[in-house]
Structure 1
Amino acid sequence: MEKEKIALIEAIIFASKGISIQKLSELTNIDQDEINKIIKHLYSKYNNNSESGIELKNIDGYLKFYTKKQYSSYIEKVVKRRSLSTLTNQQLEIVILLATKKEATKKEIDGIRGKDSTNILKQLLYSGVIKRKKSGRSYIYGLTETFKEETLIEELIEELGGAQLDTFRSKNSSPQNNGKR
């Protein structure tokens, strides 16, 4: 491996808010097999090194540098962290749904929750927790990058072993009895 290529990949990952191996390959014209070797090298350079305060993580296919957990109490003094405890249970329900599913329409959110989410979505939009983008006649909602960075919610869900959504709570998903009793 060339030192220059290692430094280039390292710099791009550092500057990004999370980047895929495919995107790294497109940006650098380095094939994905070589990038994988470089990533392995960077893992050992940072993750297995007690002299480094950062580590490289791959969360849902996106590579990003994070500070190591043992330094979190110091980092919190420097970097503003948003606490999940400031959210209501209803807001947290939607946040976890979006952290797990990545994005969803209001109809999907309502279907999973089994109730209307209009006011809660407005609150989350106003407070900068979620964002929305127009898609046809509806909006697609997702968590803002700032919120994800401030709470490390994706990392938390991964540490807890992921999350499974109960998509069968919606009244519309119950089987029809076709008038039979």
Structure 2
Amino acid sequence: MSEELTKKAVMEALIFSAKSGIEPSRIASIIGIKLSQVMLLLEELEKEYEGHEHGVVIKSVNGKLRFYTKASIQSYVSQISVRPLVSITDTQMEVLAIVAIKGPLTRNDVELVRGRSSQSQLLELSKMGLIGKRKSKLPGRPYLYKVSSRFYELFQVDDLAEIVQGLAFGEGEDKFETSRDNLTDNGNVEEKINASDFGRESEIERQDRNLSET
């Protein structure tokens, strides 16, 4: 076996063994190669697993590489491994989209975008494990909300455009109990939220700007 094939085999094993995913930089450190080499090997591995003879694919989710079951055969795998369903309402989906796109941000920021109270939605999304919160250093120390690692695992996306698309039309392994018909009837997430609203500064952004100007 050539040295290059050995490195690719080690990389494959590392991704397989890391149940919560592994960063490309971590792989480079373990194998002792440059990050650029890791990315080239990753491209080769991804192409190999895209073939019909494989039932899994390699995806980068939240910056971490991991093996995922292909959507086309998920129905078979679900017979031995049932993933918990997340039942989510349209209003919760709205809030989740805002946090995914603009987070970390405060509840007040979310409500400025939506134009209505969002406390109950944030609470339920926290209980679902889809968002997390921490105390900020803003006046009054309000909570800052951002999407969790569970969010990325469920939606299996690593790009903002994919996040919005996944929120509106989850499919395959996404397992959300909100139908495409419901979202179409009521306007999808992107239509419900005015795009200009996302241009507003959040409280944390305003604070950072004020500090830089002083």
TM-score, normalised relative to structure 2: 0.62
Deviation (angstroms), 1:40? 1.5
With over 3 angstroms needed to count, the CA separation of the structure-2 counterparts of 1:167 and 1:36, relative to structure 1, is same
With over 3 angstroms needed to count, the CA separation of the structure-2 counterparts of 1:31 and 1:155, relative to structure 1, is closer
Aligned to 1:168, which of 156, 180, 196?
A: 196
TM alignment of 1:1-181, pairs within 5 A: 1-14=3-16, 15-47=18-50, 49-59=51-61, 61-77=63-79, 78-83=81-86, 86-101=87-102, 103-136=104-137, 137-149=141-153, 151-152=154-155, 154=157, 158=162, 160=165, 166=194, 168-169=196-197
Query: Is the 2:60–2:157 contact (alpha carbons within 8 Å) kept by the matching residues of 1?
Result: no
Aligned to 1:179: none
Q: Please, which moves more after superposition, 59-68 or 151-160?
A: 151-160
With over 3 angstroms needed to count, the CA separation of the structure-2 counterparts of 1:145 and 1:168, relative to structure 1, is same
The amino acid of 2:76's aligned partner reads: Y
Counterpart-to-counterpart distance in 2, 1:44 and 1:161: 23
Deviation (angstroms), 1:71? 0.6
Q: Please, which moves more after superposition, 38-47 or 131-140?
A: 131-140
Query: Is the 2:49–2:58 contact (alpha carbons within 8 Å) kept by the matching residues of 1?
Result: yes
Counterpart-to-counterpart distance in 2, 1:131 and 1:67: 26
Deviation (angstroms), 1:44? 2.1
TM-score, normalised relative to structure 1: 0.72
Q: CA RMSD for the aligned pairs?
A: 3.3
SS state of the match for residue 60, structure 2?
A: strand
Query: Is the 1:111–1:167 contact (alpha carbons within 8 Å) kept by the matching residues of 2?
Result: no
Per-residue CA deviation, residues 85-129 of structure 1 (Å, 9 max, x unaligned), is x21221111122233446433233222212232222112222333
Query: Is the 1:114–1:169 contact (alpha carbons within 8 Å) kept by the matching residues of 2?
Result: no
Query: Is the 2:61–2:152 contact (alpha carbons within 8 Å) kept by the matching residues of 1?
Result: no
Q: Which runs of 5+ in 1 are unaligned?
A: 174-181
Query: Is the 2:59–2:156 contact (alpha carbons within 8 Å) kept by the matching residues of 1?
Result: no
Counterpart-to-counterpart distance in 2, 1:27 and 1:63: 15
With over 3 angstroms needed to count, the CA separation of the structure-2 counterparts of 1:158 and 1:22, relative to structure 1, is same
Counterpart-to-counterpart distance in 2, 1:141 and 1:76: 32
Which structure's residues are more often strand, by fraction? 1
With over 3 angstroms needed to count, the CA separation of the structure-2 counterparts of 1:133 and 1:95, relative to structure 1, is same
SS state of the match for residue 53, structure 2?
A: coil
Per-residue CA deviation, residues 6-63 of structure 1 (Å, 9 max, x unaligned), is 233223323153444334334543201210121022112211x222110112346443
With over 3 angstroms needed to count, the CA separation of the structure-2 counterparts of 1:142 and 1:161, relative to structure 1, is closer
